[in-house]
């Protein structure tokens, strides 16, 4: 069966596919795409056999760094990252949750110093009994991955 692309093919750059629709704009924000000057195509609420409704990001002429793409592992762990060179996928990059998450998560503890003063947030990722928890480096409060607040 002939496959028809809803979004134009990318010559060079990065494609992030299979982003849950409700996470698309969080991904945009985490990757600071709102201030990126490259040509960017966003698509949302596309049909997906796997996840129902998905979002998609194509960034022209920029291969995101591993550190950058891993930042979205927290909120879109099943997103697919492809690095494209001359219309060919040259790298299918797996998402790996980093051991530490800097800046993008806000501490849920209202009494944490990071919510009162200009302190960059820092969380340690704990993998206990198959449940992923984030522990604030400062107030030491632990929060479940699903309850994480993205800044």
3-state SS assignment for residue 146? helix
- Scan residues 113-132 and list those touching other proteins (CB under 8 A): 113-114, 116-119, 128-129
Residue span binding other proteins (CB under 8 A) among the ranges 10-18, 37-45, 81-89, 106-114: 106-114
Report in angstroms the alpha-carbon separations of 73 from 81, 102, 139: 11, 13, 23
Is there a contact between 75 and 23 (Cβ–Cβ < 8 Å)? yes
Residue span binding other proteins (CB under 8 A) among the ranges 18-26, 80-88, 97-105, 137-145: 137-145
- Scan residues 27-66 and list those touching other proteins (CB under 8 A): none
Structure-token pair, residue 126 = 């704990």
Instruction: Indicate which single residue of 11, 140, 149, 150 sits in contact with other proteins (rule: CB under 8 A).
Output: 140
Determine if 145 is a binding residue for other proteins (CB under 8 A).
no
Instruction: Indicate which single residue of 44, 108, 142, 145 sits in contact with other proteins (rule: CB under 8 A).
Output: 142
- The sign of the dihedral angle between the CA atoms of 144, 66, 14, 101 is positive
The DSSP element (H or E) to which 136 belongs, if any, is strand 131-136
Which stretches of the chain bind other proteins, using CB under 8 A? 107, 109, 111-114, 116-119, 128-129, 136-142
């Amino acid at each position: 069966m002939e496959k028809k692309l809803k979004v134009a093919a990318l010559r060079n750059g990065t494609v992030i596919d299979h982003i849950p629709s409700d996470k698309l704009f969080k991904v945009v924000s985490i990757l600071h795409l709102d201030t990126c000057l490259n040509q960017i195509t966003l698509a949302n609420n596309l049909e997906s056999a796997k996840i129902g409704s998905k979002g998609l990001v194509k960034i022209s002429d920029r291969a995101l760094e591993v550190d950058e793409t891993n930042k979205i592992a927290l909120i879109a762990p099943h997103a697919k990252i492809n690095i494209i060179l001359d219309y060919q996928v040259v790298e299918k990059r797996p998402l790996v949750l980093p051991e530490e998450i800097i800046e993008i998560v806000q501490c849920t503890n209202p009494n944490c110093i990071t919510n009162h003063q200009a302190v960059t947030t820092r969380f340690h990722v704990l993998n206990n009994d198959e449940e992923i928890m984030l522990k604030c480096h400062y107030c030491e409060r632990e929060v479940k991955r699903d309850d994480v607040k993205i800044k």
